[in-house]
Amino acid sequence: MGRHLIISAAAALSLLTWACALDFNDAVPCSNDDECPTGFHCDAAIAQCTEGEGTAQNNTPDIVESDVVEDVENDPGVTDVALDTTTTDAAETADDLAVEELDGTASTDSTACTPSTETCNGLDDNCDGEADEGGVCPSCPISGMILVATPSAPPFCIDPYEARRTDATSGSQGEANNAPLSVVGVRPWTNIEAGAAQASCQAAGKRLCTSSEWRAACESAEERTYPYGDEYSTTNCNGLEAQLPPTVEATGTRFNCRTLDGVVDMSGNVMEWTESADALGGSFNTPQAGLSCSAPAPAGITAAADVGFRCCLSVESSGGEDMGVGGADGGL
């Protein structure tokens, strides 16, 4: 027969009183409030449960903390710190500074945000947690184009995809020579010289991008090394290491090969002509060194199966001033 432990009501009450007197500050480690008993919260500084409900928080990492005094902890363990809109992710080094970077982490060289007038540059100039709000940016006059606003160039519009012939399909680039289109899922227009590419863009009411515009669109406001970020990936874009044998793909085949603004295939697939006849971005035949946004244009490029183009367009401010640059390349 099994043995049973029988205790008196008084003894049970004594045990319950002892359990309730436990010091959870020492006994219970935690990483968020959900791991703590009722009436306790997780103290991020010591990673232990502490008595009391604590300050409102959601323990969600990498949410940029506002510099507006709100007494709400948006980033674990940090309340109402300053917001940095000047240091790029590429220059960021994590430390214990209470200054939030563009992506929500602190940097050794961070500079607290000083409010100024909001302008169309991809940054949060007035330190309210949003960039380019309040109608400060113009609209693209042609539907389907993407407005690019960065600190390195005046705002301009760019096609989201590499140019394609009007009769192109997913398996063939077609033969039509009329104004190009920019759509997903078709073979890009290749085997074209820079002059012919410029004429084609002009037929659509656009122009080739300047080299400065092209690089600004590739890097986005974060000044990324590659369209998708600072770390190289062999598969995000269609470069030499992406597949065997190397071959051109339909536009938008690789979803992750896109900029912060949503411009697609700016690294690999086909090189793209600019106004100065530079072929930028690399192609399906290009190794890593030539696939970054800042990679120099290779010399001696002519019409080939791995050379295409995309179109850009200047935009005007609300006062009618031309805010883009067409014609002389590099004049941004």
Q: Which domains does the chain have, with CATH numbers?
A: 17-51 (no CATH), 137-332 (3.90.1580.10)
DSSP string, 123-135: S-TTSSS-SS-SS
Tell the burial category of 264 from Cβ atoms under 10 Å away from its Cβ (0-12, 13-18, 19+): buried
Percentage of the chain beyond pLDDT 90 is 53
Kind and range of the H or E run holding 313 = strand 311-314
Contact 315, 139 (CB under 8 A): yes
Q: Residue 115 has what pLDDT? A: 87
- Strand 48-51 to strand 40-43: parallel, antiparallel, or no bridges (unpaired)? antiparallel
Q: Residue 274 has what pLDDT? A: 98
User: What sign does the CA torsion over 206, 267, 214, 301 have?
Assistant: negative
Residue 180 DSSP one-character state: -
Contact 274, 210 (CB under 8 A): yes
Contact 280, 316 (CB under 8 A): no
- Name which of 147-151, 220-224, 313-317 the model is least confident about: 313-317
Task: Provide φ and ψ at 314, rounded to 5°.
Answer: -70, 155
pLDDT band at 45 (very low <50, low <70, confident <90, very high): low
Per-residue pLDDT tens digits for 150-207: 888 889 999 999 999 999 999 999 999 989 999 999 999 999 999 999 999 999 999 9
Q: Residue 51 has what pLDDT? A: 80
- Name which of 166-170, 250-254, 311-315, 322-326 the model is least confident about: 322-326
Per-residue pLDDT tens digits for 237-286: 999 999 999 999 999 999 999 999 999 999 999 999 999 999 999 999 99
3-state secondary structure of 117: coil
Kind and range of the H or E run holding 16 = helix 9-20
